[in-house]
Amino acid sequence: MKLVWLAAVLAVATASVVKDDHYGFLMGKETMMNLDIKTKEICIMKLLNHILQPTMYDDIKEVAREYVLEENLDKYLQIDLVKKFISMFKMGLLPRGEIFVHSNELHIEQAVMVFKLLYFAKDFDSFIRTACWLRERINGGMFVYALTCAVFHRLDCRGITMPAPYEIYPYFFVDSHIINKAFMMKMTKAAKDPFIYDYYGIKVTDKNLVVIDWRKSVRHVLSKDDKISYFTEDIDLNTYMYYLHMNYPYWMTNDVYGLHKERRGEVMMYGYQQLLARYRLERLSHGLCDIKMIMWNEVLKTGYWPKIRLHTGDEMPVRQNYVQLVTKENLKDKILLDDIEKIIREGILTGQIVRRDGTTISLKKTEDVEYLCRLILGGMGLQHDDAKVIHITNVMKQLLSYNLYNVNKYTYIPTALDMYTTCLRDPLFWRVMKRVVESVVLFKKLLPRYTRDELDFPGVKIERLVTDELVTFMDEYDMDITNALYLDESEMHKKRSDYTYVARMRRLNHHPFKVTMDVVSEKAVEAVVRVFIGPKYDCMGRLMSVNDKRLDMVEIDSFLYKLDTGKNTIVRNSIDMHGVIMDRPWTRNMFGMDTTTATINGDRVVDNWWYKTRLGFPHRLLLPLGHLGGLPLQLFVIVTPVRTGYVLPTIDMSIMKDRRVCRWTTCIDSMPLGFPFDRDVDITCFYTNNMKFFDVMVYRKDMGLSNTVKHMDTSELVMKRDDLTYLDTDMLERWSYKDVMLMSTDRMMRM
C-alpha cells in the first residue's frame, strides 16, 4: 500500500496548521533514508503536533497501522532489546492520558526502553516508521521524551530543529488561568464581547489570532522569592534546563552511546553551578541575599504555588508554608540520601570510593572531577542497565514530594520539582542544587590553588577593557499555546485549528552590547579568552573579595582567538557570544526562515542554528534586571594559552565537536570548567597582566516603556502598596509630594 508523506518543499505551519491543498505526495514503497533535513523536520513536527490526541495525519496513521514490530526485527541493531520491549508492551505501559513524570522510576524505565527502540533503529526509515507506530500506541508524554532524546543522539537526526517544548506541551510553561481562558475562547468560538475581552486581556485579530494577556492575572505572593518569578518561570530558561538533561541524560550510562568520551559530568555540574550564579545575580538586583542549601531536619518556612494545571485537570500541588520535610512516609528516602551523601563526602576526603563490583574510583587528581560529577549526577550506575542508576537529585526530589501524590501504579501527580521543564520555577530546587554542587566545591577545596605559572600568559597583557552601556527592560513575547487545546472533528479533518492561541507575556531582556578588549602580545599565538560577569558588592553593600564572589561569576563568553604580534583589538557582540541563542522561532514560521546552510556527512543542515536551539543559554538573560540607577557589577576577562592534559585520557574533543556540544571551553581547552574561579584563589599570585577586572553598571529601563525609549523621568513614580511583582505597569502611579507625605504620615500613625 502506498504511503502518504509530506514534501520537503512545503513551507507550512506544522505546530497547528497544515495547508489543505498541499498536504503531501505519494512515495510508494520507497524508503525514507535519503530525505533532506527539511523533510525530516516536518516528519518530526507532525509526530509532535497535538500530542494529547491521536494524530490527525493519514500518512502517520497508515504507517502505524501497517508496521509490525515482530516482522521487522532485522531493522534494529539489538534484536533482543526489541523482543524485550514487545514483552513489556504486552504487559502494559504507562496508559495514554496519564502524566509522564521525569522523576518517576517506573515511568523512566519504560521511557528508556522506548528510547532504545528508536535509537537502535538501523536507518532513518526504520526510525521514523517506529516513531509512527509508537505515536499511536503509547503515552504522549513518554513519546515526546523518548523521541526528543533520540533526535538529540541519532547521527541521522543531526540538523533537525526540534519544536520548542513549550509549544509541544504548553501546560508546563504557562499559568493555569491562561489555559482556562484559551479553552473559554475555543468553546465560544472567540465570540466578541468587548467587556469580557477587556477584563481578561484578550484580543482577537482579523487573522484568527487569539492573544491572551498573561499580565491580567491574580497577583499572589507566598514569599519574597516570588519577586523574581519572571526569571525562574522564564520559558527559555526552563527549556535550557530540559535540554541540558536531554543532552546528557543521567540514565544514559552504556558505552555504546559514546557519552563516556565526553566531559558529560563536568558539563552538567558546571551548568548547575552557573545557573546558581546567574540566579544569585538576579536576587542581587532585588536586594535579596544568597540562598542557603536545603536542610532536611528544619521546617521549610516558605511555600510555593506553581499555578500549573495539567491536561488531566489535576493541579500541581501547592507547598504550604512551614512544612516538615522529613515524615514517616519518606523516612526511608532520607536514610538512603544520608548514606549516599556520606559515601560521596568520605570518598572526597579519603580520595577514593569503592564500588559494589570492587573497582575503585579515584578522587585525588584534577581530572577526577569528571568521575565525581558523573557519580553525583547518575552517570555511573549499575552496569548494563541504563535505567537503574542512583541519581542523588532524584532522591532529593522524591524526598521533597512527600509521597502523597502517588495514587496507584501509574497515576502520579508531579510537583514542580519532578519535571525538568518546571523544577527551576520552585525556589526550593535552587537550594537543592546548591547542596548538590557543594560536594564538588569541597572536592575543589582539597586541590592545590592555581600557581602564577598556571594563571599567567607571559608576553600577553590586557591593556583596556570597555563595554557599551548595559541596559535591561521588560519586553513582550507571544507564546503559541495552540497545542494545549483539543481539536474538534472538523479541525481534525482540516488538520489545523480554526484559531491560533497565544499567551502574551512580559519577560526580561536587554539591549545588545559589545565587549571590547585591547590585548598586546609579544608574538603570534593562539589563546583562549574567557569573559565573566559577577557582583562587586554583596546584598548588604559590602565590597566582595575574589574568594567571596568566585562562585558567583557567570561565564558569558569563551572563545579561541589567534593573537597577532602587537596590539589586538577584540570586539565581542553579545549576540555572538559562545553558547547563547536568540529567540526560538515559532514552529509554524520555521520553514520560512532564510538560513545559511552547511553540510555534515552529505546532509544539508542549518549552520550554527539548529544545535544552538537545542542547547543554548538565552541571550536575553545574560544580564540581571539591574536597578533604575544602575546595579554595580564587575566584568572579568582572562586570556590564557591553549592547554591540554587536565582531562581524562578517554575524553575525545573531536566527538564533542562532531556532536556540536561544545559547552563553554570543552572543545578548545582542557582546563577545568570555571577556571580560574573553580578553586580557592591565592591573592598573592592571582593578579597577572593577562587578566583584568572592569566595573560596569546594569541599568533597568522603566518597565512601561518601549525598548526604543531610553530615558524618562521616573522620580515621581512610586509603587502601589499592594505591588509585590515589580513587573506590571498598572501598578505604577504618579504621586505628588503632598500625597507621599500624607501616605507616610498615615503609616506612622498606624505604628
Question: Block means of pLDDT (10 residues each) for the chain, length 751 residues?
Answer: 36 35 36 75 92 92 93 94 94 93 91 96 95 96 97 91 93 93 86 77 86 70 82 96 94 85 93 97 94 90 90 90 86 88 92 82 91 85 54 84 65 91 94 94 95 95 95 93 93 90 93 96 96 96 94 96 96 94 82 44 46 83 94 97 85 87 91 95 94 96 50 36 39 40 43 43
For residue 600, the model assigns a pLDDT of 39
Task: Return the closest-CA partner of residue 400 out of 433, 438, 440.
Answer: 433
CA distance 585 to 402: 39
Q: Count Cα neighbours of 483 within 13 Å in the Cβ-side half-sphere.
A: 33
Looking at residue 248, the DSSP 8-state letter turns out to be S
pTM of this prediction? 0.88
Cis previous bond, 676, omega within 30: yes
- Can you say whether the dihedral through the CA atoms of 508, 514, 518, 524 is positive or negative? positive
- C-alpha grid cell, residue 595: 538560513
Cell 575524553 -> residue: 651
Contact 182, 500 (CB under 8 A): no
For residue 230, the model assigns a pLDDT of 92
Helices (H), 466-581: 489-494, 546-549
Q: What are phi and psi of 683, to 5 degrees?
A: -60, -30
- Can you say whether the dihedral through the CA atoms of 146, 150, 151, 156 is positive or negative? negative
For residue 738, the model assigns a pLDDT of 42
Q: Tell me the residue ranges of DSSP E strands in 437-592.
A: 460-467, 470-480, 500-510, 514-521, 525-535, 554-563, 566-573, 580-581
Task: Return the closest-CA partner of residue 245 out of 494, 614, 559.
Answer: 614
For residue 553, the model assigns a pLDDT of 97
- C-alpha grid cell, residue 739: 500625597
CATH classification number, 452-479+512-579+616-700, choose in 3.40.640.10, 2.60.40.10, 3.40.50.2300, 2.60.40.1520 = 2.60.40.1520
Q: Same topology for domains 4-163 and 452-479+512-579+616-700, yes or no?
A: no
Contacts of 157 (CB under 8 A, 6+ apart): 40, 44, 124, 127, 150, 151
| 593-607 confidence digits (pLDDT tens) | 544 444 334 444 444
For residue 157, the model assigns a pLDDT of 92
Residue type, 721: R
Cell 531582556 -> residue: 509
CA distance 497 to 16: 6
CA distance 531 to 640: 12
Looking at residue 701, the DSSP 8-state letter turns out to be P
CB atoms within 10 A of CB 422: 25
Contact 530, 677 (CB under 8 A): no
CA-based radius of gyration for the chain: 27
| 445-486 confidence digits (pLDDT tens) | 999 999 999 999 999 999 999 999 999 999 989 999 999 999
Contact 309, 176 (CB under 8 A): yes
3-state secondary structure labels for all residues of 555-576: EEEEEEEEECCEEEEEEEEHHH
- C-alpha grid cell, residue 213: 494577556
Q: What angle do CA 290, 291, 295 make, to 5 degrees?
A: 150
Length, in residues, of the chain: 751
CA distance 625 to 552: 16
Domain coordinates in residue numbering, the chain:
4-163, 176-213, 224-297+324-445, 452-479+512-579+616-700, 717-750
Q: List Cα–Cα distances, 245 to 75, 108, 250, 343, 402, in angstroms.
A: 28, 13, 7, 25, 24
Cell 530525505 -> residue: 35
Contacts of 741 (CB under 8 A, 6+ apart): none
CA distance 674 to 515: 20
For residue 220, the model assigns a pLDDT of 62
Domain 4-163 of CATH type 2.60.40.1840: no
Q: Which CATH class is domain 224-297+324-445?
A: mainly alpha
Residue-wise DSSP of 325-377:
S--TTSHHHHHHHHHHHHHHHHHHHHTEEE-TTS-EEE-SSGGGHHHHHHHHH
Burial group, residue 250, by CB count within 10 angstroms (0-12, 13-18, 19+):
buried
Torsional class of 750: left (φ above 0), alpha (ψ -120 to 50), beta (otherwise) = alpha
Task: Return the closest-CA partner of residue 269 out of 348, 372, 152.
Answer: 372
